Amino acid sequence: MVKEQYFTLPLMGVAVPAEQGAELGSAADVAGDDMEVEGADELFEHFAITVDKGQKMLRLDKYLVDRMEHCSRNRIQTAADNGSILVNGVPAKSSYKVKPMDHITLVMPYPKREIEIIPENIPLEIVHEDDDIIIVNKAAGMVVHPGCGNYSGTLVNALTYHLRDLPLFQEGDMRAGLVHRIDKDTSGLLVVAKNERAHTRLAKQFFDHTIHRRYVALVWGNLEEDEGTITGNIGRSPKDRLQMYVFADGSDGKHAVTHYKVLKRFGYVTLVECRLETGRTHQIRVHMSWQGHPLFNDERYGGNRILKGTTFSKYKQFIENCFTLLPRQALHARSLGFVHPTTGENVYFESELPEDLLSVIAKWEGYVASRQLDEE
């Protein structure tokens, strides 16, 4: 993982402090299921370059292509056309002539990775599709893109088959059209770009944190407040690289903010809606666990055992039955809103809670009702 403090541009050897804007949009390594991303650990790169004092005037696209490894002039021009390249804070065209001490920032989708993508005819639940985007309601259990140990059966394998007539999905790109991801065992909505223009414009919105993302989660415990905000830097755990960790003192990790609202209380567990302000790896899962409220049946963050309630055999059996109904963390990406990359209109999509999560919620409702009857 690239540290946030400094980012060295390929071939240039210029390290730019993070406070000046240099950062890598994605905090995750490509590691299949182990590092699938919560909400939208964004699949874009953010570069920051300060032009040397002795630089002669040169077209912006030519200047950048000479300094960025594995980045075509066409890719840079597409980013410029979509307002994703700023010079001194102002969108610049490819024809702009760079000058000494210009400060250039770029936001672009990740370049393609070399891996064989096998198109697979896997059924997808498509919520919306037009010439530029496709909204997919991903089922729990599906990995978003190929990685270590997951080279088939992924969302990208399915998209490569379903969108096989489109240029973006004919090049064997393991991240074709993706601008964000959600965990393998998280269900819910994803937006995928169908062309380079849409890809670049969506990436810019994720970078600017203007995408609206809301999740529904069932967490252990009874939250004190009906609404709240969790703020804490998130980075790799120093003890376990498969886990993320909150650096409460801000000494490491990336700034992360999660807003939550209680939807329903069941005493020992609480149904909440979470709104992501940032998109970090496992953000909701690690933030809630840090606050003492791990997601129900989240094995990685300790939610797969009885954390609240009694140890009586009847209650224990009830929890085990719930875990059987929902053999994953109780998290669903329910809604997604953004500016359409072509029409410029605000669009909003919402999905119903999946059957496994609904079943567990119904069991908790029944459990609470029966307890109230016993008390009466």
For CA atoms 73, 79, 42, 167, the dihedral sign is negative
Which of 151, 168, 160 is closest to 202 using CA atoms?
A: 168
Which of 181, 152, 254 is closest to 35 using CA atoms?
A: 181
Q: Which two tokens stand for residue 216?
A: 């529904």
DSSP bridge partners of 178: 192
Q: How far apart are CA 220 and CA 268, in angstroms?
A: 6
**CA 69-73-74 angle, 5° bins:** 125
Residues designated as active site: 183
Which of 227, 219, 247 is closest to 329 using CA atoms?
A: 219
Q: What is the DSSP string of 98-142?
A: E-TT-EEEEEEEPPPPB-PPPP------EEEE-SSEEEEEEPTT-
Neighbours of 168 (CB within 10 A): 19
| CB hemisphere CA count around 193 (13 angstroms) | 30
Sequence-ordered list of residues with C-beta below 8 angstroms from that of 294, at least 6 positions apart, any chain:
219, 220, 285, 288, 301, 302, 303, 307
Neighbours of 283 (CB within 10 A): 29
In angstroms, what is the C-alpha Rg of the chain? 22
Sequence-ordered list of residues with C-beta below 8 angstroms from that of 66, at least 6 positions apart, any chain:
none
Q: Which two tokens stand for residue 272?
A: 């909440």
Q: Which two tokens stand for residue 310?
A: 């009694």
Residue in the block written with tokens 């007539």: 165
Strands of 266-345, DSSP E: 269-276, 331-339
Q: How far apart are CA 284 and CA 258, in angstroms?
A: 7
